[in-house]
C-alpha cells in the first residue's frame, strides 16, 4: 500500500530543504505538487513547483470538490492539494511526500489517517525562525509581517502531529528525517 509522508512547519523552519533531500535519497518517494493562486516566481515552473491557476479556476475546483484540502493562506492567496495529484502519484506506485502548511497537513491526515505520517519540523527557536524569514529578503515589509504572524500561530500546532523533528543542526535533522522515512515506509 502506498503511503503519505507529510512534512509541515512554519515558513523558514527548513521543511523544503528536508523534503528535497529525502526526494534525492529515496526513489520510492514522489513530491505532491500543490495548486496555488499566487504568482509564479522567476525560478519556478508550472507543474513542477506548483500548479499555478487563476483564483476563478481555483474556486471552480473547490466547488467541484476537487481538493483533498485547501486553504486561503494569506488574503487572496490559496493553496491546495488536488485529489487528482494523489491519484496520479499512487498510480505510478510511489509513496507521496508533502511540503505543506499546518492546516493542510491536518486535513490530509484526517482524510488519510492510516496511510499518512505527519512530521512537524521545529525550528531551534521562534527568534531564529523569524530571523531566517527576514534574511530571505523575498518579501516586502507588509508581507513579511504577515508571514511572521502566521509562523508564530503555526508553531502552536507542534503537539498535534505524529512526530516532531528539531531542525537545529541541518545534518542531524536530515539524518533523523531519513530514519523516520525508512521506518514509516518499512524500507
CA nearest 111: which of 164, 157, 69? 69
Contact 81, 69 (CB under 8 A): yes
Helices 170-185 and 15-25, packing angle to 10 deg: 50
Question: pLDDT grade, residue 21 (50/70/90)?
Answer: very high
Cβ-Cβ contacts under 8 Å for 86 (sequence gap 6 or more): 4, 32, 68, 96
CA nearest 73: which of 108, 100, 42, 52? 100
- Per-domain residue ranges of the chain: 4-185
Burial label, 52 (beta-carbon count in 10 A; 0-12, 13-18, 19+): middle
Cβ-Cβ contacts under 8 Å for 104 (sequence gap 6 or more): 8, 34, 69, 70, 71, 79, 80, 81, 98
Per-residue pLDDT tens digits for 174-186: 999 999 999 999 9
Per-residue pLDDT tens digits for 50-71: 999 999 999 999 999 999 999 9
Model confidence at 7: pLDDT above 80: yes
CA 60 to chain centroid, in Å, comes to: 23
Q: Looking at domain 4-185, what is its CATH homologous superfamily?
A: P-loop containing nucleotide triphosphate hydrolases (3.40.50.300)
- For 19-49, letters b (16+ CB in 10 Å) and e give bebbeeebeebbbbbbbbbeeeeeeeeeeee
Model confidence at 144: pLDDT above 80: no
Q: What is the pTM of this model?
A: 0.86
CA nearest 187: which of 22, 52, 19, 44? 22
Burial label, 169 (beta-carbon count in 10 A; 0-12, 13-18, 19+): exposed
- Residue written as grid cell 471552480: 60
Amino acid at each position: 500500500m502506498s503511503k503519505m509522508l507529510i512534512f509541515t512547519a512554519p515558513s523558514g523552519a527548513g521543511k523544503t530543504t528536508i523534503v528535497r533531500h529525502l526526494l534525492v535519497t529515496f526513489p520510492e518517494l514522489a513530491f505532491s505538487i500543490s495548486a496555488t493562486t499566487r504568482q509564479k516566481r522567476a525560478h519556478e515552473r508550472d507543474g513542477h513547483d506548483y500548479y499555478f491557476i487563476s483564483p476563478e479556476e481555483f474556486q471552480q475546483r473547490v466547488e467541484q470538490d476537487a481538493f483533498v484540502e485547501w486553504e486561503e493562506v494569506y488574503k487572496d492567496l490559496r493553496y491546495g492539494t488536488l485529489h487528482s495529484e494523489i491519484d496520479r502519484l499512487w498510480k505510478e506506485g510511489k509513496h507521496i511526500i508533502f511540503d505543506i502548511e499546518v492546516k493542510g497537513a491536518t486535513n490530509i491526515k484526517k482524510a488519510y489517517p492510516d496511510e499518512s505520517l505527519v512530521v512537524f519540523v521545529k525550528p531551534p527557536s521562534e527568534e531564529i525562525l523569524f530571523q531566517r524569514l527576514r534574511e530571505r529578503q523575498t518579501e516586502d515589509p507588509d508581507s513579511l509581517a504577515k508571514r511572521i504572524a502566521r509562523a508564530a500561530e503555526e508553531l502552536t500546532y507542534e503537539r498535534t502531529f505524529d512526530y516532531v523533528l528539531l531542525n537545529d543542526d541541518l545534518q542531524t535533522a536530515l539524518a533523523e528525517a531519513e530514519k523516520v522515512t525508512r521506518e514509516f515506509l518499512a524500507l
